[in-house]
Amino acid sequence: MTQHITTLRQLRDALPLPGARSRPLSLVPTMGALHEGHRSLVRKAREDGAQVLATVFVNPLQFGPGEDFDRYPRTLGSDLAALEEEGVEWAFFPEASEIVPKNPRIRITHPVAELYCGASRPGHFEGVLSIVSTFFHLVGPDRAYFGKKDRQQLFLIEQMVRELLFPLEIRPVETFREPDGLAMSSRNRYLTKEERRIAPELVRLMTEARDIYAPESQLDRLGWMNQLKYRLKERGFRPDYVALVEPRTFLPLDSEDPPESPAILLAAAWLGTTRLIDNIDIPARHV
Ligand code: PAF
């Protein structure tokens, strides 16, 4: 049976302290509206032999003014049923007033938080890092699981854990995709039938672009990215950004980086009122 927890006191009483754990404690943070991608995080945590605490919390701090906080899907009943089915030990779903101060002023940030998704969504990653660090110290997990779909988020959380010496291990999990390639996301349910038909073109075009990637210069890289944006527009997307990122620093690849360096291709694009993101690895070219 999954134990339901909504208050800090219940949380303190429920969780085994680090010295008294028979198995590792793993944290799977979510904003609810659970899909197979979330389930794959929980399954991975269980396969790795841990007891699992999943959070279901639509974090107000990571939504900007005019974003989709109000319409973000809230499906607590079916989320709790899914966590039960996956054998999760504890589900923590607090009210915002329990864990978010009225006027929060502390910010955890990093230069990469301003780039890519952070450029289009100012303050988003600071909001993510605030809530994730709050969960880390409230729960004290040995491990925490995050999907690679949110690659920039994963990078920033890994940096935060490293720099602030959180005593836990981050375990990334591969992006879970629909059979047609679309990365699973709670926001996919905003798509109309026609948009849902087009949506997998995002990763398809990114993959096609990867397969012809062979820059000899920085100018080639720019041309190649513009080409991808152009293709996305042709299919009906409004590209927000396309970026080639150096995996260790998450900074844009620049003219110093040799053409054969490995990279991560990131893209965000709008379809109607839905903003989709995706990323794929571009392995080092062996020429
Ligand atoms: O990836 C998400 O769903 C959220 O950003 C997270 C990590 C649960 C923090 O609210």
Q: What is the pLDDT of residues 138-165, one digit of tens each?
A: 999 999 999 999 999 999 999 999 999 9
**129 Cβ partners below 8 Å, 6+ apart?**
108, 109, 113, 156, 157, 160
pLDDT digits (tens, 9 = 90+) for 190-237: 999 999 999 999 999 999 999 999 999 999 999 999 999 999 999 999
Substitution site in 31, 68, 124, 125 for ligand 1 pocket (most atoms within 8 Å of beta carbon): 31
Mean pLDDT of the chain: 96
**pLDDT band at residue 86 using 50, 70 and 90 as cut-offs:** very high
Tell me the pairing of strands 25-30 and 51-56. parallel
Query: Hey, what amino acid is at 216?
Result: E
Q: Which residues line ligand 1 (CB under 6 A)?
A: 29-31, 59, 62, 128, 131-132, 150, 153
pLDDT > 60? residue 87: yes
- The predicted-structure confidence for 165-192, as pLDDT tens digits, reads as follows 999 999 999 999 999 999 999 999 999 9
Domains of the chain and CATH, by start: 3-173 (3.40.50.620), 186-286 (3.30.1300.10)
pLDDT value at residue 18? 83
Kindly give, in sequence order, each residue whose CB lies less than 8 Å from that of residue 77, ignoring residues fewer than 6 positions away: none
Compute the CA torsion angle 116, 200, 285, 222 (nearest 10 deg): -50
Tell me if 281 sits within 8 A of 244, measured CB to CB.
no
Query: What's the pLDDT at 52?
Result: 98
Spatial contact of 51 and 27, defined as CB atoms under 8 Å apart: no
User: Quick check: is 38 catalytic?
Assistant: yes
Is the predicted pLDDT of residue 114 greater than 90, yes or no? yes
- Going from the Cα of 131 to the center of ligand 1, the distance in angstroms, rounded, reads 8
For position 255, what pLDDT does the model report? 87
> Band of the pLDDT at 89, cuts 50, 70, 90?
very high
Tell me the pLDDT band of 286, cut-offs 50, 70 and 90: low
Q: Is the pLDDT of residue 35 over 70?
A: yes
- Which residue puts its alpha carbon closest to atom 2 of ligand 1? 30
Give residue 17's pLDDT band: very low, low, confident or very high (50, 70, 90): confident
285 pLDDT band, cuts 50/70/90, is: confident
pTM, entire model? 0.97
Residue whose CA is closest, atom 5 of ligand 1?
A: 128
Mean pLDDT within 98-125: 97
- Give mean pLDDT, residues 281-287: 79
Mean pLDDT across 231-249: 98
